[in-house]
Chain A
Amino acid sequence: MTGTIFGLVGAALIGIGLFGMLVRRDALLRILSFNLLGGGVFLVFGAVARRGAGAGFGGDPVPQAIILTGIVVAFAATTLAVALVLRLAAAKDRA
């Protein structure tokens, strides 16, 4: 039940994040929406992990490890995106 609730929350977050990315014009808000989208995908994955509980573990460890990797990679992508936005703004500023 817990897994299903948060899986549905993840689906809703995917919709919200996608909407923010497509509709908002401010670059930083789009990056934030991209992070929301990523969080939603991870939650769906987490629901799958929760349902795979067994063999004495509270959840399937393989999806959990993959989500962990995903969070770190998403952070690295966000830093690159923010650096790009700042560089673009600085270039426009001098032009």
Chain B
Amino acid sequence: MILGLVADGLLAAGILALALACVATRRAFASAALFIAYGLLLALAWARLGASDVALTEASIGAGLSGVLLLGGVRRLAGLAEPSPDAETGPLLTVLIGIGCAAVALAIGAAVLLLPDPAPSLAPQVAANLATTDLGNPVTGVLMSFRALDTLLESAVVLLAVVCVWALAPEGGWGGVAGPRQPIVRDGPLALLARVLPPLGIVIAIHILWVGADAPGGKFQAAAVLAAMWLMPWMAGLAPAPRIDARWLRLVLAAGPALFILIGLGGALAEGAFLAYPPGWAKPLILAIEIVLTASIAVALALLVMGPPEPPR
């Protein structure tokens, strides 16, 4: 379809132009803003590639939460003293690095063009076995059943990242309130958004989680939306950030991976393999894991964006 090719070509040109501008800009703020736009175009590219779940994740986590994180980082860095900049890379070295990177890009491009035809695929196996999970969305089936170990390790990695970010608390800051103090904004557009959006966002997140069983969606996208719904009132100063030594916080963070591991061990006892689901029990178990894991990951994502606690003044 010629029209599809034109759309793909324009999208590709936009993505490349934004990426080049992102790398070429000197100012970090402009670069972060361009990165958010690049993330949104990338989400459209994922939709064109037929990967709707990935498109949702890229838009919410890749463009949304990453953009918030980077813009916050730019702002906080600007508040600190101007560090003595390292010498800019000399022109000769820049050209050499450019040639090297172009060579890498060409090699990978050649690999893409030389991919085997007919393409090997695991789609038939997934289609054949999807009925055992009672799910309609194959990506959710792969994430929660066929490659459930990957998802377990991923949630463990997110938890580990939270612990590492907390470990970067400065002297005397351990146990304090996460993130920098936000000024309280009682009225104005930010307060309006912080009051109006969270109820809508929570409903939308629950919908995305529930519908992920049979249609594009799932728990990571829902967790990202929930994290954003906490971050918005936090940025307006209307919702407090938690103390990182709060017991409820640590329980919620640990509950998701803990339940996942427990169910995995139960599967090892019942079926003989870690994370094997007993027949007929697959969908209820998957649902239970997803709901608790969404809460854990939502809290973890919000804490990751808030950052380590600041030292007490």
Chain A contact residues, CB within 8 Å of chain B: 1-20, 22-26, 28-29, 31-33, 35-36, 39, 42-44, 46-62, 64-69, 71-80, 82-87, 89-90, 92-93
The secondary structure that dominates the A interface is helix
Q: With A2-B49, A33-B23 as known contacts, state yes or no: A79 contacts B161, CB within 8 Å.
A: yes
Q: Which residues of A contact B87 (CB under 8 A)?
A: 25
Contact (Cβ within 8 A) A13 B50: no
Q: In this complex, what residue of B is CB-closest to A65? A: B142
Q: Is B187 at the interface (CB under 8 A from chain A)? A: no
Q: With A53-B123, A64-B51, A80-B165 as known contacts, state yes or no: A75 contacts B61, CB within 8 Å.
A: yes
Q: With A28-B70, A48-B119 as known contacts, state yes or no: A6 contacts B8, CB within 8 Å.
A: yes
Interface size grouping (class) on chain B: 35 or more
Q: Which of B147-155, B195-203, B251-259, B273-281 contacts A (4 or more CB under 8 A)?
A: B147-155
Q: Which residues of B contact A90 (CB under 8 A)?
A: 80, 170
Contact (Cβ within 8 A) B308 A14: no
Contact (Cβ within 8 A) B73 A49: no
Q: A43-B45, A46-B51, A84-B168 are in contact. List 11 more A-B contacts (CB 8 A).
A: A24-B23, A25-B87, A25-B88, A28-B32, A29-B25, A61-B142, A71-B54, A73-B154, A79-B69, A87-B170, A92-B80
Q: Which residues of B contact A67 (CB under 8 A)?
A: 51, 54
Q: Is B5 at the interface (CB under 8 A from chain A)? A: yes
Q: In this complex, what residue of A is CB-closest to B85? A: A25
Contact (Cβ within 8 A) A18 B101: yes
| CB of B142, distance to nearest CB on chain A (Å) | 4
CA distance in complex: A76, B5 (Å): 34
Contact (Cβ within 8 A) B48 A44: no
Q: Is B211 at the interface (CB under 8 A from chain A)? A: no
CA distance in complex: A3, B158 (Å): 30
A15: contacting residue among B48, B104, B121, B305, CB under 8 A: B104
Q: Is B220 at the interface (CB under 8 A from chain A)? A: yes
Q: Which of B109-117, B234-242, B282-290 contacts A (4 or more CB under 8 A)?
A: B109-117
Chain B contact residues, CB within 8 Å of chain A: 4-5, 8-9, 12, 15-16, 19-20, 22-23, 25, 28, 31-32, 35, 38-39, 42, 45-46, 48-51, 53-54, 57-58, 61-62, 65-66, 69-70, 73-74, 76-77, 80-81, 83, 85-89, 94, 97-98, 101-102, 104-106, 108-109, 111-113, 115, 119-124, 126-128, 138-139, 141-143, 146-147, 150-151, 154, 157-158, 160-161, 164-165, 168, 170, 218, 220, 301, 304-305, 307-308
Q: Which residues of A contact B141 (CB under 8 A)?
A: 61
Q: Which residues of B contact A17 (CB under 8 A)?
A: 19, 23
Contact (Cβ within 8 A) B70 A31: yes
CA distance in complex: A93, B122 (Å): 53
Contact (Cβ within 8 A) B74 A20: no
Q: With A9-B12, A12-B16, A55-B127 as known contacts, state yes or no: A18 contacts B104, CB within 8 Å.
A: yes
Q: Which residues of B contact A25 (CB under 8 A)?
A: 85-89
Q: Which residues of B contact A12 (CB under 8 A)?
A: 16, 19, 105, 109
Contact (Cβ within 8 A) B112 A11: yes
